[in-house]
Amino acid sequence: MDLMEYQAKELFAKFDIPGPKWLVIDDPATLRDLAVEYPVMVKAQVQTGGRGKAGGIKPADNPATLETACRSILGMNINGRQVERVIITPKVETAMEWYLAIVLDRIAKCPGVIFSRNGGVDIEETAKTDQGKIIKLPIDPVIGLKAYAAAYLADKAGIDPKHLPPLRSLLDRLYRLFLKADCILAEINPLAVTPGGELLALDAKVTIDDSGLFRHPDILALRDELEPNPLIREGRKAGFLFIPCDPDGAVSVVSNGSGMIMSCIDVLANNGLTVCSAIDLGGGATFERVREATRVALSDPKAKALFINIFGGITRCDEVANGVKEYMEAQGSEKLVVMRFEGTNMEKGLQILESMKRDNVVFADGLHQGVEILVKRRAAV
């Protein structure tokens, strides 16, 4: 789960990571009620990088330019995400701008520190073209962050030793946040060095491991607030994963397992059909979850047909058939539903489908036959 910058800054504050104050707004009309000390920076709040280069970060020196900046950024589309909030933060005079992050290194299977004295918007380009300016240090999760870590980073980067005490303190706090908040990434870019030698986190980026969210109900509560797609939110409530796919697609896919979903998408694409959305039921889906998955899939306005492809292990075929039957009979949907299932209680599932007697609910004996049915009835798709 990627936090917005202002949410990451709130988390930074809990761990005493220093940074300038900020205000969050979603309506320029509220500016008249705010006490702002100029100059300031206005920054788009979206869960993606590249804001600066996309025009999502602008300076303001007075109330007029502040309102203009807010109005120009709010509503922007940055890498497919619409800006609904901005933060207003003081413009900080900097002597240097560094980069500091702690990241889960999946190759080394441990956390690692990444540091560079060349922070800012071009850090990714620096990492590609001049890797010598990027210093990495693995952290043994059993031993933890050693006292020499900051000194090692400073020496490798050619940093004046006078910056060691604040860098050591900041690194310790960032690592504590990384562990306590179940982070995959905790990043400061840029990490400002003021003319007085103070270190300030001008930006904050935090990614929380989804598997650890149950330990953080306050952060978990933010997830639905951040998700603009109502179908994704409905899927979470019902206990399954809704995945938006091709915006020009016309077929929704429901299956139990990412491998089967990808197989469906590939075979459909090879036959000229595109998938608008997919739902992963996971294992052991009950008829209630199948009913909800059918409802959510068919409520996608782009979905003209639904392809359900289930292998019945701990998920029973009769539960799948019952879930679809209950929804279709209650709602009377006329959209095409092609079902393929096999495994536990397959015969019972077939009997349930036969009892429906609906022309728009069709059983397929295999993945490829299901796709063939969708192709033949392309007019419905």
From residue 263, how far is each of 61, 156, 178 by CA, in Å?
55, 47, 36
For residue 166, which of 154, 178, 157, 158 has the smallest C-alpha distance?
154
Instruction: Assign 235 a pLDDT band (cuts: 50, 70, 90).
Output: confident
Main-chain phi, psi angles of 139, to 5 degrees = -120, 120
DSSP label of 2? B
Q: Which residue has the higher pLDDT, 128 or 381?
A: 128
**CB 142: neighbour CB atoms within 10 A?**
6
| ∠ Cα 309 332 255 (to 5°) | 15
| Residues of the chain above pLDDT 70, percent | 98
Q: In the beta sheet, which residues pair with residue 86?
A: 25, 44
Res 355 pLDDT > 70: yes
Enumerate domains of the chain plus CATH numbers: 21-90 (3.30.1490.20), 96-219 (3.30.470.20), 230-380 (3.40.50.261)
Res 161 pLDDT > 60: yes
Which residue in the block uniquely carries the two structure tokens 């069709």? 362
For residue 99, which of 66, 70, 125 has the smallest C-alpha distance?
125
Residue 229: per-residue pLDDT: 81
Res 178 pLDDT > 60: yes
Helices 230-238 and 287-299, interaxial angle, to 10°? 180
First to last CA, the chain: 34
Main-chain phi, psi angles of 15, to 5 degrees = -110, 20
Instruction: Assign 380 a pLDDT band (cuts: 50, 70, 90).
Output: low
Res 223 pLDDT > 80: no
Query: Looking only at Cα atoms, what is the longest distance across the chain?
Result: 80
How far is residue 67's CA from residue 25's CA, in Å, rounded to a whole number?
A: 11
pLDDT tens track for 272-314: 999 999 999 887 778 899 999 999 999 999 999 999 999 878 8
Instruction: Assign 48 a pLDDT band (cuts: 50, 70, 90).
Output: confident
**Burial letters 271-291, b for 16+ CB under 10 A, else e:** eebbbbbbbbbeeebbbebbb
Give the pLDDT mean for 12-17.
97
Q: Would you say how long the chain is, in residues? A: 381
For residue 202, which of 71, 68, 43, 65 has the smallest C-alpha distance?
43
Catalytic residues: 99, 187
Give the pLDDT mean for 241-253.
93
Contact assessment for residue 198 and residue 166, using Cβ atoms and an 8 Å cutoff? yes
Counts for the chain of helices (H) and strands (E), in that order: 12, 18
Instruction: Assign 381 a pLDDT band (cuts: 50, 70, 90).
Output: low
Dihedral angle sign, alpha carbons of residues 115, 118, 122, 126:
negative
pLDDT tens track for 141-160: 999 999 899 999 999 999 99
Give the pLDDT mean for 100-116.
95
DSSP label of 228? -
Cis ω for the linkage preceding 138 (within 30 of 0): no
Highest mean pLDDT among 46-50, 131-135, 172-176, 313-317: 172-176
Residue 80: per-residue pLDDT: 80
**CB 208: neighbour CB atoms within 10 A?**
24
All residues at 6 or more sequence positions from 85 whose CB lies less than 8 Å from its CB, including other chains: 4, 6, 24, 25, 26, 45, 74
What strands, in cross-sheet order, belong to the sheet with 361-363?
241-244, 275-280, 251-255, 305-312, 336-343, 361-363
Structure tokens at 294: 């059918």
Residue 258: per-residue pLDDT: 87
DSSP per-residue string spanning 229-270:
-HHHHHHHHHTSEEEE--TT--EEEEESSHHHHHHHHHHHHH
Structure tokens at 192: 């400002």
